[in-house]
Amino acid sequence: LATIFLEANAAREGVSVTDSGLQYEVLEAGSGASPGPRSTVVTHYHGTLVDGTVFDSSVERGEPAEFGVHEVIPGWTEALQMMSVGDKWRIACPPRLAYGEQGAGNAIPPNTALVFEIHLIAVKD
């Protein structure tokens, strides 16, 4: 299922694919600073499985999340460093850039591709 979704998503207009396999689509372009690998960021995000099932959402909690760029899944670490404050992106992470063969608890099965909408609100160094 992950492979089928990722192949179809990569073919969509506006979707770019990095060398690692991360897929991203710029929904809104900001003009602020970009975080580095040791930056702390403030984001709003909405995470779903490829079937649309929500597994985590700061938007639904009504509170932005703050964390280090290096403290998240590899797909996020890569995407965040390409973003600017004010950007809103939709990213699709292949399993190896997400939770891989382990999955994460009951919410994310093993070998699952994940989709996130990320709004980069602020960078704190």
Task: Walk along the chain (125 residues) and give the pLDDT tens digit of each residue.
Answer: 799 999 999 999 999 999 999 999 999 999 999 999 999 999 999 999 999 999 999 999 999 999 999 999 999 999 999 999 999 999 999 999 999 999 999 999 999 999 999 999 999 97
User: Is 116 considered catalytic here?
Assistant: yes
Q: Give the active site residue among 5, 24, 91, 99.
A: 99
- In the chain the domains, ranked by start, together with CATH numbers, are 2-124 (3.10.50.40)
User: Is 24 considered catalytic here?
Assistant: no
User: Is 73 considered catalytic here?
Assistant: yes
Residue 52 burial (10 A CB sphere; 0-12, 13-18, 19+): exposed
For 1-10, which contacts have Cβ atoms below 8 Å and span 24 or more sequence positions? 1/50, 1/113, 2/50, 2/94, 2/95, 2/111, 2/112, 2/113, 5/50, 5/92, 5/113, 6/92, 6/94, 6/113, 9/92
**pTM of this structure:** 0.95
User: Is 19 considered catalytic here?
Assistant: no
Which amino acid is present at 100? G
User: Is 5 considered catalytic here?
Assistant: no
Instruction: State the residue for tokens 């073919």.
Output: 11
